[in-house]
Amino acid sequence: MFKPQKKSFTVDEIKRKIEQFCVYQDRCHKEVEQKMRDYELIPEAREMILLSLMQDNFLNEERFAKSFARGKFRIKNWGKQRIIRELKFREISAYNIKTALKEIDEQEYLDTIYRITEKRSQSILETNSYKKKKKLIDFLMRKGFENELIFKTVNDILEETN
C-alpha cells in the first residue's frame, strides 16, 4: 500500500512557520512544543527554535496568560476558577497566573456574574424554585466562578424576581 511521504522542511522554514503560528495569536510554550513535535524535530533543533522565539519575543508566557485571562473573561464570561484551571492545564507558572488574574477588574467581574446570572435566570423555564436555583448554580460553576460569589449572586437575583 502506498503511504504518502511527509514533506520535510529545513529548521529555518519550520522556525518561520512557528513564528507565524505565534504571530497569529499569543501561544503558550505547550502549544508551540506540540507544534514542533508535529514536525518531528530533533531535540537540539526544538531547543534552538524555542530559545529564538523567546529572545525575539514571539513567545512570552506572561503576555499569553494576560491575554488569555482577558479574552476568556470578556468574550466567554469565564470566572477566575475556570481561567486558573485552563492556565494550569497549559502549564503556565503560578506567578504568571496570578499576574493574569490582575487583568480582570473586580467591579467588571461582579457586574458580569450578575448580568449573566440574570440573563440565565430569565431563560430557565423551571417553576420549582429549588430546581431553578440548582440550575443557576450549576451554570455558574461550569463558568468557573467562586462558590461564595455564586450563592450570593443567585440569592440576590432570585430574591429580586420574587
What would the grid cell of residue 152 be?
Answer: 450570593
- Report the residue count for the chain: 162
Top pLDDT among 160 and 25 is at: 25
Express each pLDDT in 127-156 by its tens digit: 888 999 999 999 999 999 999 999 999 999
Q: For the segment 14-67, what is each residue's pLDDT rounded down to a tens digit?
A: 889 999 998 998 999 999 999 888 888 888 888 999 999 999 999 999 999 999
Residue 64: half-sphere exposure toward Cβ, Cα within 13 Å = 25
Q: Taking Cα atoms as reference points, which of 8, 2, 56, 64 lies closest to residue 31?
A: 64
pLDDT at position 72, please?
95
The cell numbers describing 105, all together, are 477588574
CA distances 113 to 32, 73, 158, Å, are 33, 10, 14
Burial class (CB in 10 A: 0-12, 13-18, 19+), 34: exposed
Predicted model pTM:
0.85
- The Cα–Cα gap between 139 and 18 comes to 37
3-state SS, residue 96: helix
Per-residue pLDDT tens over the stretch 62-104: 999 999 999 999 999 999 999 999 999 999 999 999 999 999 9
